[in-house]
Amino acid sequence: MQGKEIQIELPYLKLAAKQWGNPAGMPVLAIHGWLDNAGTFDHIAPLLPDLNLVAIDLPGHGLSEHRPMGTNYHFIDYIEDVVAAADALGWQEFALIGHSLGGAVASLIAGTIPERILSAVFIDSLGPWSQDPCQAPHFLQRALRQRKNQSQRKSPTYPNLEQMVAMREQVGKIETKSVEAILRRGVRATEGGLTWTSDPRLTLSSPLYMSDDHARAFLENISAPCLVIEGEQGILLDNPRMRSRFGIIPQMQHQRLPGNHHLHLDTPEPVARSIRCFLENHKR
């Protein structure tokens, strides 16, 4: 099952999305990771047929529109984008599934509008990336230097799809079949070959990170049941800031499953089983 292509009209741009499952089922917004797209859920969504699952391409990713020139891709703006998508779909209450960056976005949404969130699943993610506030001037200086030359920033061109697959495989230990799922909506033709559909400005450094106290405040304010699915070879294990957050969310379950950071793509069956069991036990 490939899912149905849909478009979500926000007041300020258009989002591309894919919809799977039962239209009468629990409404679920699925949010992908940085430089991925809705294709990251291609392997797991068909294993969740009882849900009304809509996986969006965040702005600048996949087939969604890019933000206008003169604006930037600040992490905090994704919260408004996703909530606006839920509003456009007519969903007052909904669940969230987020991977990596998408999990961080989902955690802030769940902590900001807890009254609207039925439940949340964070795949190899637990809150936003944070930094010591003392480093804030350094990060802002770096971002300003990069943005000064952003008009020259362009996506690279590749002669064929095989080279793009090989390049993406090297990032994050992701399997070929998983790369292909993401690249189905992540590649476009250009003069001289192929290039990414994603906005090259997405690779600019963040000008400002949350402190860990900021991140923890959002997690503490989540009232919905949450499930953290950690890959045994994922990114949470070696991150002290992330590991210190276990136990902060009042209703949180934690499962470790075999796999790398993209375990929902590489080995979707056990991840889907965990999600089905979790959602079944927390129906409202």
Count CB-CB contacts under 10 A for residue 80: 13
Catalytic residue among 100, 125, 178, 274: 100
Return the HEC string of 94-131: EEEEEECHHHHHHHHHHHHCHHHEEEEEEECCCCCCEC
Nearest residue to 258 (alpha-carbon basis) of 224, 229, 236: 229
Q: Helix-strand-coil percent breakdown of the chain, rounded to 5?
A: 35, 20, 40
What does the alpha-carbon distance between residue 256 and residue 16 come to, in Å, rounded to a whole number? Answer: 31
Catalytic annotation present for 151: no
Q: Cβ of 166: how many Cβ atoms within 10 Å?
A: 13
DSSP conformation class of 179: H
- Active-site residues, by number, are 100
